[in-house]
Structure 1
Amino acid sequence: MSELMDVLEIHHYPQFMDKCCDLINMEWPRSKTIRLRTLKMSCDNFPTCLVLVQSHEVIGHSKITPIPSLPLGCFIESVLIHPKHRGKGLGKFLMAKTEDHAKRRGMKTVYLSTKDKQGFYSKLGYTECEPVQIYGGPVLSRQNVKFVSSNKINTHSNINIPAQSASARASTTYIHNSVTPPPPPPPPNPSNSNTLVTCSASTYMKKYI
């Protein structure tokens, strides 16, 4: 492994932001404006974006995000190695540096989620755990994961209606009392599709550091 390789906090090296943005968008395409905005949120106290740099070339990225409900825990996400540099042990190197960074910030446990890299993370000492919520709100449990047939998804469901003012409620009541409500929507057409949609398809894992 080259001595010129290092893992850097991107907010201290903004010259790498454009290259890092392009690398991440190779794997997970997104608006460059939004991606750069996320990278610019990196700071010393989390969230922190780390870049793996070799000879001024960005070849890897990871992000450490705080977990509001777990002050001594953090979430590692967006772990990525440039395709032409894979298979050289750089993923393991980047993860070790990322965990070390979290440990220096006082973290005791690191969490992550993956869809198809369970074997890789198991070799690094991670074990499966219950899902964690990193953006606030209740913690999801595997028992609460529901499978929904794709041909039964209704565009009228799961719509959040904001709280109404008193005048709006009065207006709504008047309308409901004076106008016949429309008939319910027709049932979905039968289909032979067996496609399933889940609210969580990832495996959550953790490691004590």
Structure 2
Amino acid sequence: MEKLLVLHENKEYFNECADILNEEWKRSTNARLHSLQKSCDSFPTCLIIVRDIGGVKTVVAHSRLSKVQGKANSCLVESVVVKKSLRGKGYGRKIMLETEQFAKSKGIKTIYLSTHDKQNFYKHLGYAFCDPIVSFGVNTDILPEGFLQKFLPDNSSAERESGKSSENTSIPTSGSPVVPPSAAPPPPPPPPPPTGVTQKERPDIVRWDPSAISWMKKDI
């Protein structure tokens, strides 16, 4: 039997939850734990579904709710992920529906999200395309690490070097707007191959296309 839990009230699942997120979006364990430990009652709030599998309580899915700037009774759902070995069993739909019910219990009336490859999944759950929104938390898991860093003030570099950066080091923590995907500069050209390394020997370079991000919302 599955059960929805609030992560910061069940801290014994921090490490397991970090592993599940890192299956999909690679980050250092410390950075991932630091982000998860920001979960609180007033948002951001991390939610997990736990199920008994072989006599062991196991985290099968995760989601995160964050505040939305300038929109009352709204929130952003992000970092929605299901444990890889348990995909295809309906847990993605379940974590979303459970997350919506949790948000509704907190007085939320509209949920926003962004996605680059799951538009049809969310459409089937009742989400519709909308304009980008500004959030105090944003799904950096779908962005290359450090992509938004260039939009921070110059004095943020010293903070990052000192190891005192905020939960999402590439996101302004003062509530300043996140640059919408359409305004993001094009990715730089790949660097020339090192001396003695042919083009064929170089690893493939994966380019992230900001225009591929879709914003969606649902009234609950």
Q: Does 1:148 align with 2:186?
A: yes
Q: Does 1:114 align with 2:125?
A: no
Matched residues in 1 for 2:19 and 2:207: separation? 32
- Asked whether the equivalents of residues 3 and 51 of structure 2 are also in contact (C-alpha less than 8 Å), the reply is yes
Report the equivalent of 1:157: none
Mind listing any 5+ residue stretches in structure 2 that lack a counterpart? 137-174, 192-205
- Superposed CA RMSD in Å reads 2.2
Partner of 2:11: 14
1:87 Cα deviation after fit: 1.1
Q: Distance in 2 between matches of 1:149 and 1:18?
A: 34
Larger Rg, first or second structure (1 or 2): 1
In structure 2, the CA distance between the partners of 1:199 and 1:86, relative to structure 1 (3 Å rule), is closer
**d(CA) in 1 for partners of 2:28 and 2:179?**
28
Structure 1 equivalent of residue 25 of structure 2? 28
Question: What corresponds to 1:49 in structure 2?
Answer: 46
CA contact (8 A) 2:39 2:45 kept: yes
CA distance in 2, matches of 1:111, 1:117: 14
Q: Which amino acid aligns with 2:216?
A: M
Counterpart contact for 1:7–1:52, Cα < 8 Å: yes
1:146-165 alpha-carbon deviations (Å, 9 max, x no partner): 66364399xxxxxxxxxxxx
Q: Deviations over 1:6-41 (max 9, x none)?
A: 110011100011100111111111111111111111
Instruction: Supply the distance in 2 between the matched residues of 1:89 and 1:34 (Cα, whole angstroms).
Output: 29
How many equivalent residue pairs?
164
User: For residues 196 and 29 of structure 1, do their structure 2 counterparts lie closer, same or farther at Cα, with a shift above 3 Å needed?
Assistant: closer
Local SS of the residue matching 1:16? helix
Cα distance in 2, alignment partners of residues 36 and 83 from structure 1: 19
Cα deviations by residue, 1:32-91 (Å, 9 ceiling, x for unpaired): 111111111111111100111111111110000111221311000000011121111111
Contact 2:75–2:108, Cα closer than 8 Å, also in 1? yes
Conserved? CA contact 1:147–1:197, under 8 Å: no
Deviation at 1:137, TM superposition (A): 2.8
Aligned to 2:214: 203
The SS at the match of 1:151 is: coil
Q: 1:198/1:92 Cα in 2 relative to 1: closer, same or farther (>3 Å)?
A: closer
Instruction: Tell whether 2:35 aligns with 1:38.
Output: yes
Q: Structure 1 CA distance, aligned partners of 2:58 and 2:98?
A: 18
TM-score (norm 2): 0.68
1:207 alignment partner AA: K
The structural deviation recorded for 1:108 is 0.7
Number of the residue aligned with 2:170: none
Contact kept, 8 Å, 2:23 with 2:84, in 1: the verdict is: no
For the Cα contact (< 8 Å) 1:39–1:49, is it kept in 2? yes
Distance 1:107 1:39 in 2: 21
**Alignment partners' CA distance in 1, 2:125 and 2:77:** 13
CA distance in 2: counterparts of 1:64 and 1:141, whole angstroms:
20
Aligned equivalents of 1:197, 1:19: Cα separation in 2: 28
Query: In the alignment, what sits opposite 2:101?
Result: 100
User: Which residue pairs with 2:74 in the alignment?
Assistant: 73
Once residues 138 and 128 of structure 1 are traced to their aligned partners in structure 2, the CA distance between those partners, rounded to angstroms, is 20
| Identity across matched positions, percent | 39
Change (3 A) 1:32 1:197: closer
CA contact (8 A) 1:11 1:42 kept: yes
Q: Does 1:137 align with 2:198?
A: no
